[in-house]
Structure 1
């Protein structure tokens, strides 16, 4: 579809969504016992998780009506366009879904979100969320979102049969990126055309962030987003070099593949590995595979002991029409029952550390252990580490590098993006 025609179609879709979510579509302005929650969770495990959470909310607060202001399509882009219009028009939903962390920066600076520090204290969330997570959620002494789940980004998923056939022990992952590159070379030598599967822009960004984490370590990696670590440090050059080498082992059509299609290259035995968040568990479960037999996981080599986190979270908007009911919603999604129901349905893990780990499948149990014990750092690709503008600039540089493999231009692009963002 030509760009102009595509723009017309997108505009029409957004206009239709705005109409569907306009005041009066299920909202009674005179009824305090309701809460309008804005998401793009319309299908799949995300919808199943939301439905499970709403069931718990109904049981805990039977007198409050949940109004699902969902906007589907565009992997959330349609919803974000509608949300921006509503906030600009002074018509905020009571709560909306967003990645926890720096992705909320623009909303915070615009004065559109309420400080939830008092809510955390009242619900004793400081005692059940890890201190390092609380640190990642805190902006100038305030907390603006409540995570309903946790995902881990620095995970390698491996097809054990492919590795074993190449003489690689799936139970003995390499300790660092150098060792992993040796295994990738072995796979190539043994006839595996795609040792490492890769997908579209954000999957490339996620792979690059884990390489940064491996070469810099958690403290220096986290310092990238505060200015404490220089973007022309030696570790950056090492990360660029390692990322460049990794791209030698990926599928040539990576730019056109979403994460699920890229993951299927591993499931079908045409690739040995993929770096993907733990939503990839869905693909292996749907294949009927058993964790530890047909597939396994390990932290990206060089990142053992580190949990690269992202979280779906909900906020309380400034001017929320139903503030008390919204706090009840946030109370449910942060409760033991709410988090258990949501995460068992969605395939993620709770933000709370006092849940029953035995209720979760084998992979999630490894993630729960790591989340409780490891150093937590923010994901770049999923909104926790950098604001939208900075993350987008890095993503553009990573995408260009995937095409031209120009190391000097890549280095300049990363440095210029950091200078612009940190100066602002």
Structure 2
């Protein structure tokens, strides 16, 4: 069975400003990928994505503008399916792939999530395109290594995200007597702050639908287990029935007691809104959240602050969006053009400025990096020096079957269908 190498248990290489080996390329050139699978009809490109709201939608539109400038003769079609952190889009995609009618390209999380598509022979090797566009020189070596499966690469990343970020409203913290500049160092300190906020009649923490709760849970695991212990969950050196996981479950249960259950049916952005509006203190979300604040003209450091989930300082919980070349795509030439755009400097800068993530490319100049707001610049610095771990909720750490089973177990626990002991046993079963 093929396995995607994971971003687990490694230290990220510094984002050195290496010289790019050439333009992000529209020249055809020679490629090592036998048969150049992307050659063919380039009249159109149909793109399946779940970027259909908020900063994600704005980012995709920015990519679309770059695409239309570089490839004005190719029809650009967005097949977007919103909601559920991509769960609805993946369900529709699975049906289309099974029926032999794939889109020209589809969004997927880089990492272990791609394993199922590779094993099912549903996506093609695009290693030759990396050679043609000189992407192995543009992307960090650690990223190339983790995108590689049995010597082949099956997707092109458009960005890098950090999952273990707390977004907070400083005015709510001040009202509760909490210094916004003094970050809690561990979960127990954070819980103590939440108790003060609750006593003032404000919601301490918000979460939304199932995937946002899994997102929160993985950061609690990371906080209590540390990077090595967390990484061990995926290579077997840390057991899911260990005392460390038991401790994390207890912390997770306590954190849930501070949330507003009325938001449990909402996606991430409506669940974040009370923090934006000053009705709640905290939300744990990936750094796409910065776009939600900026879109409402909120000022970094004044209207909102951010910091690593307490206990995860010095760790970068990694995920990345990427795009593929499906086997049997009707317009492989159009797919090649799309992969060219999303991997180019122009595309990555335009997209990530809007979305709140950081470029996957490590060859940006100081001037290009300087275009990004304060949060993204801090994330670039963290990615260059922190220990990298892989996100469970966003497909980097585990294959789809296991991550879905964990998500189901989390949902059951949150909704009262299991107690802590039963929940832990279901986690053990989910990862067998």
Q: Aligning the two structures, in what range does the TM-score lie when normalised by the shorter sequence?
A: 0.7 to 0.9
Distance (Å, rounded) in 2 between the aligned partners of 1:274 and 1:95: 32
Task: Say if 1:253 and 1:34 are closer, same or farther in 2 by CA, change over 3 A.
Answer: closer
Q: How does 1:123-202 map to 2 (within 5 A)?
A: 123-189=133-199, 191-202=200-211
Say which of 376, 383, 388 aligns to 2:400.
388
1:390 Cα deviation after fit: 1.2
Instruction: Give CA deviations for 1:130-175 in whole Å, capped at 9, x if unaligned.
Output: 3443343233433211111222211001111111222222112112
Distance (Å, rounded) in 1 between the aligned partners of 2:403 and 2:164: 17
CA contact (8 A) 2:202 2:281 kept: no
Corresponding residue for 1:407? Answer: 420
1:44 Cα deviation after fit: 4.1
Corresponding residue for 1:250? Answer: 259
1:333 Cα deviation after fit: 1.0
Say which of 109, 120, 130 aligns to 1:120.
130
CA contact (8 A) 1:212 1:236 kept: yes
If the length of structure 1 is used for normalisation, what is the TM-score?
0.84
Task: Say if 1:202 and 1:317 are closer, same or farther in 2 by CA, change over 3 A.
Answer: same
Instruction: Give CA deviations for 1:246-297 in whole Å, capped at 9, x if unaligned.
Output: 1222223342232222212212322221111122223322332211112100
Per the alignment, in what secondary structure is the counterpart of residue 264 of structure 1?
helix
CA contact (8 A) 1:192 1:271 kept: no
Is 1:59 matched with 2:73? no
Greater share of residues in helix: 1
Distance (Å, rounded) in 2 between the aligned partners of 1:350 and 1:140: 25
1:334 Cα deviation after fit: 0.7
1:353 Cα deviation after fit: 2.3
Name the stretch that deviates more: 101-110 or 219-228. 219-228
Distance (Å, rounded) in 2 between the aligned partners of 1:252 and 1:90: 41
Per the alignment, in what secondary structure is the counterpart of residue 257 of structure 1?
coil
CA contact (8 A) 2:233 2:239 kept: yes
Instruction: Give CA deviations for 1:176-208 in whole Å, capped at 9, x if unaligned.
Output: 11221222222234x134211222211110110
Task: Say if 1:247 and 1:34 are closer, same or farther in 2 by CA, change over 3 A.
Answer: closer
Q: How does 1:225-374 map to 2 (within 5 A)?
A: 225-355=234-364, 356-374=368-386
Distance (Å, rounded) in 1 between the aligned partners of 2:268 and 2:329: 35
Task: Say if 1:280 and 1:114 are closer, same or farther in 2 by CA, change over 3 A.
Answer: same
CA contact (8 A) 1:35 1:325 kept: yes
Name the stretch that deviates more: 221-230 or 155-164. 221-230
Distance (Å, rounded) in 1 between the aligned partners of 2:421 and 2:40: 60
CA contact (8 A) 1:136 1:378 kept: no
Corresponding residue for 2:388? Answer: 376
Task: Say if 1:45 and 1:197 are closer, same or farther in 2 by CA, change over 3 A.
Answer: closer
Q: Structure with the greater relative contact order (CA < 8 A, sep ≥ 6): 1 or 2?
A: 2
CA contact (8 A) 1:332 1:338 kept: yes
Unmatched 5+ stretches in structure 2? 1-38
Distance (Å, rounded) in 1 between the aligned partners of 2:302 and 2:83: 35
Say which of 27, 31, 36 aligns to 2:46.
36
| Total equivalences in the alignment | 389
Distance (Å, rounded) in 1 between the aligned partners of 2:261 and 2:68: 48
Distance (Å, rounded) in 1 between the aligned partners of 2:54 and 2:241: 42
CA RMSD of aligned residues (A): 2.4
Task: Say if 1:110 and 1:241 are closer, same or farther in 2 by CA, change over 3 A.
Answer: same
Distance (Å, rounded) in 2 between the aligned partners of 1:46 and 1:254: 21
Task: Say if 1:210 and 1:43 are closer, same or farther in 2 by CA, change over 3 A.
Answer: closer
1:406 Cα deviation after fit: 1.3
Task: Say if 1:36 and 1:267 are closer, same or farther in 2 by CA, change over 3 A.
Answer: closer
Corresponding residue for 1:99? Answer: 109
Is 1:213 matched with 2:226? no
CA contact (8 A) 1:117 1:143 kept: yes
Unmatched 5+ stretches in structure 1? 1-28, 420-424
Task: Say if 1:132 and 1:238 are closer, same or farther in 2 by CA, change over 3 A.
Answer: farther
Deviation >4 Å, runs of 4+: 29-33, 73-78
Per the alignment, in what secondary structure is the counterpart of residue 96 of structure 1?
strand
Corresponding residue for 1:49? Answer: 59
Per the alignment, in what secondary structure is the counterpart of residue 225 of structure 1?
helix
1:340 Cα deviation after fit: 0.6
